[in-house]
Every structure is written in structure tokens, then in C-alpha cells.
Structure 1
Amino acid sequence: MGHRGKTTSTATTSTPRKTRLVGIDAARGLALIGLAAIHILPAFDPDTFSPTTQWTLFAGASAAVFALLAGVGLAFTSGGRIPHQGPAMTATRVALFVRAVLIASLGFGINGFMPSPTPAVGILVYYGVFFLLAIPFLHFSAKMLFGWAGFFALAGPVLVHILRDALPAYESASPTFIDLATAPGATLAQLLLTGTYPALPFLAYLLAGLGLGRLDLGEIQVQAILLLVGAGLAVSAWLIYWVLILQAGGYDQLMAHTPALSEEQIDEIITWGPDPTLPTTTWWWLLIPGPHTNTPIAVLQDLGTGVAVLGAFLLLTRAGKAWALPLAAMGSMTLTLYSAHLLALATEVHYDQRLLWFLVHLGVAVVFALVWHKTLGQGPLERLVARAAATTRRLVLSPGHRKP
């Protein structure tokens, strides 16, 4: 989270690098606000029991945007539009491995402080796995990365559907070091396939972002295409669901093959997500949307949303970036702010005054990010992880290390 990196300057780039990065960081800042809203604010209206606006906008989508933008950050740190080659790519891969281990370790540690039942399922451990799985893809072109993203958008959910019932069940929604030590198989299955943010389906977001980072994101044509294509992808995914499930008999198939669930319970899965996992009684389940269902439809819908959000923020920050500075400041240090947010949730003081505590989380994050960013630049946890990665790169590229 919170990756920043250099982009490759070219003669055709019409927008300066800082403006381009402000748009990316601002989109990441919005995703952070979305996660905080989902964790703290009510998911439904107590009078009508309908989903709240924040749930409709951010549930599932915020995590997808984070993963997409993490891929963009990986593209920047691995060469931008022209991927590193030779020893430079080797150093980049090893540095990413170190970064992944550090972020996963931070996530395991924070999860150890979370009460049970957890007030929020942390994504940091999953992030570490995302980065580990991305290492073999760092040298690919944008076209190849988009192809692989499409592959994982389909193959990831299919593997989850096929293997879920055969894999060991996990004990904790937020795995800890203890879970890793006592049940490594269940923890690995959770991180790859059965958890809230399974790495194999989520590779679709990461690799798509990596491909986007290989493009010239400063070009207004590219930005407009991202907005239009992203919106089109999201709408198309929903239309597929509408046609096949709601109009062509798919919903009846869900009911026929899953008699243990009522119509109301099926609607709840589509609206609120599975609890804890999506049924595997029929392949028709793979055609529903819904937060954390991780079906091909849900992945494509959230992927399209993320791409559209990125394109929109890149376009909106072309003319001016002052309005986006609070969002961008938060987006530049999401690893720090997200970690602090989870630790604050672990105190469980937010349940009685949800709106108040959401505003407290948001206000502290904005003030801290603006002051720290203006005075010290990179966020504290981001700086530690970046230094470790940079040191690793230097060691790998040092002449002594490369001698046979």
C-alpha cells in the first residue's frame, strides 16, 4: 500500500509527473476513506434495512482499487513504461520480495492485536502474498499483463469454486503469526483462495494495475480511455449478471441447487457478500456480483470501477491539484494510515458513536498526512519499507555481489 515511484518522462508526456502522481495518490486516498467507512459506519439503514450509501459505493470496491493502484506502483518501481532488464530487474524482484515479507509481517502482527470477532479483516497479509505472486510478471509488457489479468479474473474464481470445499478451513478471518505456525496449510489456502481477499482472484487487479503503469498515464487520451473503458467494463459485468441471473433463469438455478438458502438469503449474499463463503452447489454462483464474492462478475465489475476511478482522478487533477492535496497526502502513506486505522479499531470504542469515530479517524488521517507529507515527505512505515527495499537493491547490484 502507498507505493510511489518514478515514471518515465517522454517528449509526448503532456502532464508533469507530480500532477500524474497526485491523481494516483488521490484515488488511493479515496479508497482508504472507503475502507474506513465500511469498517466503521453502518452497513444498513435501521428503519428500512436497505444498504447505506457508503456500503453501496465502497463495499468490496475499495479493496479492489487498492490492489489495482498497488499494481500501478509496482510498474513505477520496476521501470515505468520500459521494464527493468538484466541485473536491474533481478534487484527489483529481490527488493519486491523483501517488501512483500515486511508488509505481510506487519499484517500478521497487527492481526494479533485484533479482538474476536474482528471489527475489520485486514488486507496487509494478503498484500504481501499479492506482491510475492507478482514477482514473475514484472518484466511483462502492458498487453501481456492485461491478458494475464483477464486470465486470473476467470481462473481465480473458478479455482476457488472447485477447491474451496476440499481445502482446510481457517480459524481466524485475520490470520496471525500463530495461525501461520500452527496451521500453515489452512493459512496458505486462506491467503490464496478461501479468505476475504484471496490472492489468485485478486491478481486480476494487481496485474491490470501493473499493465496500466506501463502506459503513459500523463496523456489525456489514455486518461479518457481509462475512464470510458473502466465504466464500460463495470456496466457490462452488471449487465451480464442482469441478463443471465435475473432474466434468463439463473436465479431459479441458484434456488434449485441450493435448497438450504431462501430467496431472501440469496439476495443477502448478493447485497452483503457471503458469510463466510460463497456456496459451491452450482456454477451459477459465479455469475453473481456482490462484495467479497470474488466471482468473475464481481472481479470485472470492481476492476472496471477501479480503472474508471483512476482515469477520473487523473483527468480531474490535470487542471489543478490543490483540491486533491488532502486525498493525495493520505494516499501517499496508506500503509501507515491503514495500519493505524486497524489498531484504532482493535480498541473497539467506535461501536456506540460510529459517525463520530469515523470523523475522528478521517480528521486525524488528513491532518497527520498533510503535516507529515509537507515536512518529511514519505510516510513513516513507507519510509522504512522503502529503505529496506532500496538497501536490498543496492546489495544485489553491488559489484561484489555479482561476482561469480
Structure 2
Amino acid sequence: MSRTSGSGAGATENASVRSTTRLVGIDAARGLALVGLMAIHLLPAWNEETGEASWSWRLFSGDSAALFALLAGVGLALTSGGRNPHQGRRMAADRVGLVVRALLIAVVGLWIGTLMPQDPPAYSILVYYGMFFLLAIPFLHMGPKALFASAAVFGIVSPVLMQNLASELPAWSSYNPTFIDMVTEPGAIASQLLLTGTYPALPYMAYLLVGLGLGRLNLRETALQVRVLVVGVGLTIFAYFTSSILLYAFGGYQRLLSASGMSEYELDQVLTWGPDSLPASTGWWLAITTPHTNTPLAIMASLGVSLTVLGVFLLIAPKVGKWLLPLSAMGAMTFTLYTAHLVALSAEVHYSQPYLWFLIHLVAAALFAVVWQRSLGQGPLEKVVSTSAKGTRRLVSGAEGQSRNVAGGRGSQT
């Protein structure tokens, strides 16, 4: 490539090659997020002898889902124009295609809910994912600055809404909503998907919009990759340091004790595992960083970890991309693999030997992904969603506009 960079034709050809090459680092980061969710679902959350949180809980709880949401935003940006967002009918077509993607993913998530027992081995993110995409539609045309600012608003305002509206909103319908739940308890399901569920869409929009903003930048630029890494590390340190100062230097811990009526042991347990819902007894609860509490500082901490992971993979992928193949292949078809993982979990045969079943799920996912990708390309569910979304976009934008987007569509893959 470098030998032809001096000529106009060669430069054009090289730019085309670069634009149509997948960013392996993004796929690998998404693959790691999938591994993290598998670990959370299958491996013990605590050490049975000491009662302390396990290594898998400390490494992956909350952060894997946040990384998924961040990378979903990056993918949305790349499939809607990248650094040059589509406009006019092309953007309208992107939005309609996104509605189709959201509905198909949600339908699979609702079907998974029908397979899961009442006390499920895992809480599916798929229905929430559909809501993420629907909420992203109004932001799809924005540039990076507006997207980062919007993410900050969601990250600050959503936790306040969660804390103050929890008692006013309908109770949970189901850990994994089903089609019947959607019909019989629409208010409860809407509240769960937006604010009260395991992966509530409003606070998770902070991750998705940051990812959307990053996808509007040149993620192939080394300097930007370094900035992503540095900002990620900085946000993580700042979030945990600020929480520690607020709780233990400024009296927040004692305020929580007084407001909750808990013993120190009980409060320490809540700070490790999180409350069932964010208590409204005092605003000091917003100072904690416990996974899945979705406080401003918890969001900042998980966002920082997610940016760090993304930055690392973007930097190392050009040099060690072939060694990342198992992760990147898995990351290119997470919808298929995550769905298969949940279906397997619904059989509930994994409880007696969690480490063995984690290894089985991991190896099976990696082997399937590598073989399928090399033989057939896109994962099976990814192909269904992609074909449906492209067909819908074609109807909106017209055949002529679609033909102009062919190269851009290939280059938009993550």
C-alpha cells in the first residue's frame, strides 16, 4: 500500500481498502464483553469460604454490559456514515433500518424470556438492547460534541430519575420479559426497560451515546486511540477516587448508615453487591460505584473501563490482530452467540460444575465463530438482521441511493 500512496489512483485505492477493512480491535473488544457476560452468568459471584466477591464478579460485573452498549454506539455511527453522518433520505433510511434492527433483537429477547424459568440463571440484555436502539434514533445525525454532551446529561439525570421515581413506577413484571408480559403489563415492562430493570435504557444511553460520538471520529488514528485509552483510565480513577472521598472523607458512609438503618456489615454488603433498587432515603446513595446501581459515578467508572478496553484493543489490533482472532470472530457475531448462550443456560444443567460449563461455552463460541466467519462470513442472526435492515433502508432511500451506499455500508462494519 505504501508503494502506491504517491499516486492519485493508488491513494484512492488505498483509501477504499482502509475504509472497507473491519476494525478488528472493536470486534475483539466486543468479544471480550461477551466473555465477561458469560463469566457473570456461569461462574460463582462469591467465594463460598470467605463470602468475598469472586474474581469474575470484580472483573466483569456491570462493565461487560457497559462495554456492549458503548460498542453498540460505535457500530451505529459506522453504519450511518462514520465521520460524515448521512443526511436527508439516507439518514431517514438509517433510522427506519434501526427501528427494524431494534424490533428484531427485541423479538428474540422476548422469545428468550419464554424459555427462561421464573428464577432465571441469567437476565437477558436483548430486550433492553432494542430499547437502546429506539432511543438512539433522534441522536443518529449528531456530531461528536453534541453526542458527548447528551451522554453527560443522561449519565447525571437518569440516576436522579431512578432514585426518585422508583416508588412511583410499576413493580417489575419479570426478570426476562415475554410476549405475554408485553401485552398484559405494558406499563411495568416500559418502566423496567427504561429505569428499573437490570440494564435500564435511560442510564445506559450514556454509554451508547459516547460510543456513537467516538464512531463519528477517526478511530483508525493512533493519536485518538491513545486519547481514548488515557481518558478511560482517567475516568475510572476519578470515579472511584471521588466516591471514596465522598463516602469516607466527607461523611457519606455515616449518612448512609443513618438514613438506611443498616448495620455496618449490612451496608458493606450493599456497597459490594448493590441494593435491589437505588434507595431514595438520601442523595448520598448517588455517591456509590457498585456495579449495576447506575449512579453517576458508577456510570463514569464503567464508562472509563469500557473506554480503556476499547483503547487497548484499537492500539494492539494492528500488531497482533491474528492472535485476537478468537475474540474478534466472537465479537463479529455476538447476537448469535449470546442468544445461543442464553438458550443453553435455560436448560439449567450448569449449576453443579460452573467452571467446566464456562469453558464449554467459551470454547464452543470461539470455535463456532472462527469456523463460521471463515466459511460463511456474517453470523446467522446478524445476517437476518442485516438483510432485513438493508432491505428496509433500500425501500426508504430508493435503489439509486442504495447503490451509492454499497461501499460505505461495507466500510461501516465494526
- Indicate how the Cα distance of structure 1 residues 12 and 53 shifts in structure 2: closer, same or farther if over 3 A, else same: farther
Matched with 1:264 is: 265
Matches of 2:205 and 2:298, distance apart in 1: 14
Q: SS of the counterpart of 1:166?
A: coil
Query: What aligned pairs does 1:24-103 form with structure 2 within 5 A after superposition?
Result: 24-103=26-105
**Conserved 8 A contact 1:227-1:308:** yes
Matched, 1:232 2:234: yes
Distance in 2 between the 1:143 and 1:335 partners? 30
Match runs of 1:353-392 below 5 Å: 353-392=353-392
The residue identity in structure 1 corresponding to 2:64 is S
Alignment of 1:108-147 (within 5 A): 108-147=110-149
What is the CA–CA distance in structure 1 between the aligned matches of 2:174 and 2:25, rounded to whole Å?
Answer: 36
Separation of aligned partners in 2, 1:309 and 1:84 = 28
Give the gaps of 5 or more residues in structure 1. 1-8
Give the distance between the partners of 2:68 and 2:197, measured in 1 at CA: 17
1:171-186 equivalent positions in 2, closer than 5 A: 171-186=173-188
The CA deviation string for residues 36-58 of structure 1, in whole angstroms up to 9 with x for no partner, is 00100111111111111111010
Q: Secondary structure at the match of 2:23?
A: helix
Aligned length: 391
Deviation at 1:116, TM superposition (A): 1.6
Change (3 A) 1:10 1:47: farther
Q: Report the alpha carbon displacement of residue 269 of structure 1 after superposing the two structures with TM.
A: 2.0
Q: Specify the SS of the correspondent of 1:200.
A: helix
The 1:318–1:113 alpha-carbon spacing in structure 2 relative to 1, beyond 3 Å, is same
Deviations 1:275-294 (A, max 9, x none): x2222211110110111101
In 2, are the aligned partners of 1:19 and 1:318 still within 8 Å (CA)? no
Per-residue CA deviation, residues 15-39 of structure 1 (Å, 9 max, x unaligned), is 9457761100000000100000010
Residue 241 (structure 1) aligns with: 243
Residues 350 and 89 of structure 1: CA distance in aligned 2, closer, same or farther (over 3 Å): same
Distance 2:12 2:242 in 1: 40
Query: C-alpha deviations, 1:114-169, integer Å up to 9, x for none?
Result: 01201111000000000000000000000110000111000111111111110010
Shift of 1:273: 2.2
Q: Hey, what does 1:107 align to over in structure 2?
A: 109
**Further displaced range: 392-401 or 209-218:** 392-401
Q: CA deviation at 1:171?
A: 2.5
Moved over 3 A (4+): 9-13, 15-20
Q: CA deviation at 1:375?
A: 0.4
**Which amino acid in 2 is paired with 1:25?**
D
After superposition, give the CA deviation of every residue in 1:282-307 in whole Å (9 maximum; x if it has no partner). Answer: 11101101111011110000011101
Structure 2 residue ranges without an equivalent (≥5): 1-10, 402-414
Match of 1:281 in 2: 281
Task: State the 1:248 CA deviation.
Answer: 1.0
SS of the equivalent of 1:161 reads helix
Report the counterpart of residue 218 of structure 1 in structure 2: 220
> Per the alignment, do residues 11 and 263 of structure 1 end up closer, same or farther by CA in structure 2, a change over 3 Å counting?
farther
2:142 counterpart SS class: coil
Q: What residue identity is the alignment partner of 2:176?
A: S
For the pair 1:313 / 2:308, whether they are aligned, the reply is no
Equivalent-residue separation in structure 2 for 1:359 and 1:314 (angstroms): 26
2: CA distance, partners of 1:37 / 1:153: 26
| Pairwise CA distance, 1:334 | 0.2
Q: Helix, strand or coil: the match of 2:327?
A: helix
TM-score, normalised with respect to structure 2: 0.91
Q: How far apart are the structure 2 equivalents of 1:395 and 1:104?
A: 22
